[in-house]
Amino acid sequence: MNKALLTGGTGFIGRHLCESLLADGWAVQVVTRDTAAAAKVLPAGVVPVADIKAAAPADAVINLAGENLADGRWTEARKREMRESRLRITRQLTETIGEWDTPPQVLVSGSAVGYYGARGDDVLDENESPGDEFQSELCVAWEQAARRAEAANIRVCRVRTGIVLGADDGALAQMVTPFRFGLGGHFGTGKQYMPWIHIRDEVAAIRFLIDNPDCSGAFNLTAPEPATNREFTTTLARVLHRPKFAWVPGPVLKLMVGEMAHLLLTGQRAIPSALEKAGFTFEFRQLQPALEDLLGDR
């Protein structure tokens, strides 16, 4: 039986990935600070463990842990915690799996398209250099921490994920409510790109990287056709059969959420070149079919 070990397994992506692995007969462990609370949200069959060092060796390790960047204002204290929460557990993880008698076949470690910073209309594949902003520096440090596992001859895949769309959780679930009341709209000019991906493609891409021994390095986990914020919100309103009257000027957004507004007013036109070159096939390449799949019957 194949064995998987996850950090961040109680999160949106992690729970869906656990379900996929379990459905294919994998034994799944999830590292979590609160095993009792985790057991209530994780799929039946997942084994919560409180300490990385207490986890049984696994064939695949997936590192998704870290404080949510979009969950509150970016105070200096919170930015330190967002950084340390990622680096601390990633360093602990690479140290632990490097000491196993039988190292894992692969470490899939989380990152984000924020790696590239604000790049306007530039088409960004995995060969592009990082930006010089907070979220860019955070992603660079996070990826460097994961690459420590390479010293133990462990294959490392660094997944730069975009905005993951799901019906009941994640960014889309937060956007739907104002749109249902006709209060949804674009941010700023609306010209900034939103590199999105359907949750099924996100999980399938991670599974693809786990299963393919030739895959290593950085991978953008984004749909091949990113949409601008204006295109995204217009399509969402159309799928929900609601008008789209509202919009939020950039200065107002900055007053509302502070420095975090930078994430919403810039964006990245990231494309999954490495993933497609490796042979991965997307179920949802275009935005409207993805939104219709998630929201069309509601």
Model confidence pLDDT, tens digit, residues 80-128: 888 888 999 999 999 999 999 999 999 999 999 999 998 889 999 999 9
* Position 232 in a domain: no
Quick one: pLDDT band at residue 261, thresholds 50, 70, 90? low
Quick one: pLDDT band at residue 245, thresholds 50, 70, 90? low
pLDDT at 71 > cutoff 80: no
More confident residue, 81 or 138: 138
pLDDT at 69 > cutoff 70: no
* Position 82 in a domain: yes
Output the six-digit token pair for 192: 């900034």
pLDDT at 56: 94
Number of domains in the chain: 1
pLDDT at 273 > cutoff 60: yes
Each residue's pLDDT tens digit, 143-186: 999 999 999 999 999 999 999 999 888 888 878 877 776 667 77
Spatial separation of the C-alpha atoms in residues 79 and 50, rounded to whole Å:
25
Q: What is the β-pairing status of strands 155-161 and 163-165?
A: unpaired
Each residue's pLDDT tens digit, 174-223: 788 777 766 677 777 778 899 999 999 999 999 999 999 999 999 999 99
Residue carrying the six token digits 């956007």:
175
Q: CB-side exposure of 87: number of CA atoms within 13 Å? A: 12
pLDDT at 77: 82
Quick one: pLDDT band at residue 252, thresholds 50, 70, 90? low
Spatial separation of the C-alpha atoms in residues 237 and 185, rounded to whole Å:
9
* Position 247 in a domain: no
More confident residue, 204 or 79: 204
pLDDT at 254: 60
Read off the CATH number of the domain in which 274 is found.
3.40.50.720
Q: What is the DSSP code string of the chain? A: --EEEEESTTSHHHHHHHHHHHHTT-EEEEE-S-HHHHHHHSPTT-EEES-GGGSPP-SEEEE-----TTSS---HHHHHHHHHHHHHHHHHHHHHHHTSSS--SEEEEEEEGGGG---TT-EE-TTSPP-SSHHHHHHHHHHHHHGGGGGGT-EEEEEEE-EEE-SSSHHHHHHHHHHHTT--EEETTS-SEE-EEEHHHHHHHHHHHHH-TT--EEEEES-SS-EEHHHHHHHHHHHTT----EEE-HHHHHHHHGGGHHHHHS--EE--HHHHHTT---S--SHHHHHHHHHTT-
pLDDT at 185: 73
Give the type of residue at 120. G
Q: Write out the residue range of the structural domain in which residue 73 sits.
A: 3-165+195-222+269-282
Tell me the mean pLDDT in the region 32-48: 92
* Position 182 in a domain: no
265 and 192 in contact (C-beta within 8 Å)? yes
Quick one: pLDDT band at residue 50, thresholds 50, 70, 90? very high
pLDDT at 260 > cutoff 60: no
Tell me the mean pLDDT in the region 270-298: 94
Quick one: pLDDT band at residue 14, thresholds 50, 70, 90? very high
* Position 125 in a domain: yes
48 and 32 in contact (C-beta within 8 Å)? yes
Spatial separation of the C-alpha atoms in residues 167 and 292, rounded to whole Å:
10
Whole-structure pTM value: 0.93
* Position 251 in a domain: no
